[in-house]
Chain A
Amino acid sequence: MSRSWGYVRRNPLLLVGVAMFILLLLFWLIGPQVIDVTRARPISAMADQRPSAEMPLGSDSVGRELLPNLLVGSLYTFEIGLTAGLIGLVVGTILGFIAGYFGGVIDSFISTAADVALTIPALAVLVVIASVIKEVLNVRNLALIVAALSWMRPARTIRSQVLSMRERSYVEIARLSGMNDWQIIVQELLPNLLPYLAATLVGAVAGALLAAIGLEAMGLGPQTEPTLGMTIFWCNYYGALLRGMWWWWAPPIVAILYVFAALFAISSGLDELANPRLRRAR
């Protein structure tokens, strides 16, 4: 306990990031009690209204009320990022373990595949897929599409970690005491990798969010559900900025900046855990 407290004191940013997320969670939990989320649909409010007492963030050109839109949109966007990031992490971890632990041909195959997939710009491939299935794009499908291209970085990080851990003496002892490969991976290696997995998850979620919001801003997001990126797309489409409708384009931007700042704070806070060498450097 005192050790983890010491860690947090050395890395106050971690606390800042977690606090920011707790605030966001509260917004998502309490928001729907106070705000009527059905008004995030088009033609539920008078179009192009400035913020007022009844509509704290006004409305857009197709009559969505923008405060519910922000609430639902930020929740959906984060859902996409988290789902895609988690799937990417799980798939990447499995591949990384296989490649790092067993080595040989299978390692070269997985490593080359990850290198190739990392060089191909994800957004380009995603654009093609998303534009073909535009009609059936919803929150779940978008998350799956983005997840398909977020396994490479986790796979590479975990592979290099496993590669160095495989040679440690405790693995040797575990093997001598009769544990099989599977037991060694699950009981010995995985627990030691937890800090890396946490740090990698934050990175994977940030990457997935970046890809998802980018796709949405191009108009390739869920067509009927509001998300932060789609709101930016509609702002661009209807020229919200040029028409001075700041209440339309500013909230999604603030929300995106907020989420990325929180993720940044958490990942810098976890940096020391993932790269113990940093501790000595200070």
Chain B
Amino acid sequence: MSSRYIVRRVLLFLLVIWVGTSLIFFLPRLAPDRDPVAQRLGNLAATGGINTEGLDEMVEAYRAKFGLDQPLWKQYLNYMFDMLRFDFNYSIAMYPATVFEIVMRAVPWTVGLLLVSTLLAFAIGSLVGALLGWPRTPRVMHWVATPFLMMSSVPYYILGLVMMYVFAFKFKWLPLGGGSQYGTVPTLTWQYVWDVVHHAILPAASMVVAGVGFWALSMRGMMVTTLGEDYVMLAEARGLSPRRIFFRYAMRNAILPQTTGLALSAGTILSGSLLVEVIFRYPGMGSVLYRAITGFDYFMIYGVVFFVILAVGAATLLLDLIYPLLDPRIRYSRK
């Protein structure tokens, strides 16, 4: 892997963060309503909304920093500087807590749920897809897989709702929502760990079931292409066992572009998981964002969105840097 590739890739990452952060600063300003945030904060203060404590100060702080009396470039610089220091101000709805604290409390839940379900979906989906592209696979497999392939385009949370109804509401096998039993204190005991896993099964399952079809579809396409390659034919001519050809020759090569697919869909997967959290009231970033939207906790929305952009950018960067290690044929020199 050349150092030029690494530098270029890191620059692209910085560009993504910069453009993303700037977009969410400038785009809302194009709205006809001139300063909706100050207005809304003012309304909250006037009507004695959810939590008036500290609201006046926040309105002041907001006006001082982003107020329209300041030139746009100055507002922008202030904003960028705050974002880079992870200073997202206080949460409007939960005043003494800062946005950063609340987001940090939610991050482990989201990362845990997302990582486990994405890896499971990726592994199962790739295997199923490889089998679907393999001529020796029994016909039954195609029949079993078709519903999963159909579900590949369905949003996770839609499946989540259905599963929640069947397994939590009707049969009461699994909890209806939340991250752990209400009122339990996080401790490192088996009981607590089991409780967390128990609560994560349904949200994770809805993401895995919808994800398997997606990965299977792209893997099937890659598998068909790989099986047409000369080295597979040579392997067959050498009389290698089908099992060995399947795993060592076909699947091993077909799975490489899947990693690129993972990098490309990191954003979609994360967005999908945020909505799953909303449906299951899972205590991660999705629920924080949802509460922030319904309660118009403006600073919180910005904080969560910034973290989402950062996380997806970092995940994409990581996968792009890993890829050349997996596939030594890739050189990444331009032309």
Q: How far is the CA of A133 from the CA of B39 in the complex (A)?
A: 12
Contacts of B309 in A (CB 8 A): 120-121, 124
Contacts of A217 in B (CB 8 A): 157, 275, 278
Q: How far is the CA of A119 from the CA of B225 in the complex (A)?
A: 27
Q: How far is the CA of A125 from the CA of B165 in the complex (A)?
A: 31
CB pair A132 B31 closer than 8 Å:
yes
Partner of A257 from the list B28, B154, B228, B272 (CB cut-off 8 Å) is B154
> Interface segment, A39-47, A61-69, A206-214?
A206-214
Indicate with 1 or 0, residue by residue over B32-52, a CB within 8 angstroms of chain A CB atoms. Answer: 110011000000000000000
User: Which residues 270-289 of B have a CB within 8 angstroms of A?
Assistant: 270-272, 274-275, 278-279, 289
CB pair A218 B293 closer than 8 Å:
yes
Indicate with 1 or 0, residue by residue over A108-142, a CB within 8 angstroms of chain B CB atoms. Answer: 00001001111111111101110111111000000
CB pair B267 A133 closer than 8 Å:
no
Given contacts A131-B296, A133-B33, A264-B152, contact A120 B20 (CB under 8 A): yes
For residue A226, CB closer than 8 A to chain B, the reply is no
Q: How far is the CA of A219 from the CA of B169 in the complex (A)?
A: 24
CB pair B301 A119 closer than 8 Å:
no
Q: Which of A119, A121, A261 has the most CB of B within 10 A?
A: A119
For residue A241, CB closer than 8 A to chain B, the reply is yes
Given contacts A218-B289, A260-B154, A264-B150, contact A119 B316 (CB under 8 A): yes
Given contacts A120-B267, A241-B169, A249-B161, contact A128 B28 (CB under 8 A): yes
CB pair B154 A281 closer than 8 Å:
no
Partner of A120 from the list B23, B221, B275, B278 (CB cut-off 8 Å) is B23
Interface range on chain B: under 10, 10 to 19, 20 to 34, or 35 or more?
Answer: 35 or more
For residue A236, CB closer than 8 A to chain B, the reply is yes
CB pair A124 B271 closer than 8 Å:
yes
Q: How far is the CA of A278 from the CA of B133 in the complex (A)?
A: 12
Nearest neighbor of B36 in chain A, beta-carbon distance: A132
Contacts of B27 in A (CB 8 A): 125, 128-129
For residue A23, CB closer than 8 A to chain B, the reply is no
For residue A95, CB closer than 8 A to chain B, the reply is no
CB pair B290 A116 closer than 8 Å:
no
CB pair B278 A246 closer than 8 Å:
no
Chain A contact residue count (CB 8 A cutoff): 47
Contacts of A253 in B (CB 8 A): 158, 161-162
Q: How far is the CB of A266 from chain B (nearest CB, A)?
A: 11
Contacts of B169 in A (CB 8 A): 241-242, 244
CB pair B271 A242 closer than 8 Å:
no
CB pair A120 B28 closer than 8 Å:
no
User: Which residues 5-33 of B have a CB within 8 angstroms of A?
Assistant: 12, 15-16, 19-20, 23-24, 27-28, 31-33
CB pair B37 A260 closer than 8 Å:
no
Q: How far is the CA of A132 from the CA of B12 in the complex (A)?
A: 28
Given contacts A128-B302, A132-B28, contact A219 B270 (CB under 8 A): no
Q: How far is the CA of A281 from the CA of B274 in the complex (A)?
A: 38
Q: How far is the CA of A129 from the CA of B20 in the complex (A)?
A: 12
For residue A70, CB closer than 8 A to chain B, the reply is no
For residue B123, CB closer than 8 A to chain A, the reply is no
Q: How far is the CA of A278 from the CA of B150 in the complex (A)?
A: 19
For residue B264, CB closer than 8 A to chain A, the reply is yes
Q: Which 5 A-B pairs have the closest CB atoms?
A: A121-B267, A123-B271, A132-B28, A120-B20, A128-B24
11 contacts between A and B (CB under 8 A): A116-B15, A119-B12, A119-B16, A124-B267, A125-B23, A128-B27, A135-B36, A214-B271, A253-B162, A256-B158, A261-B153
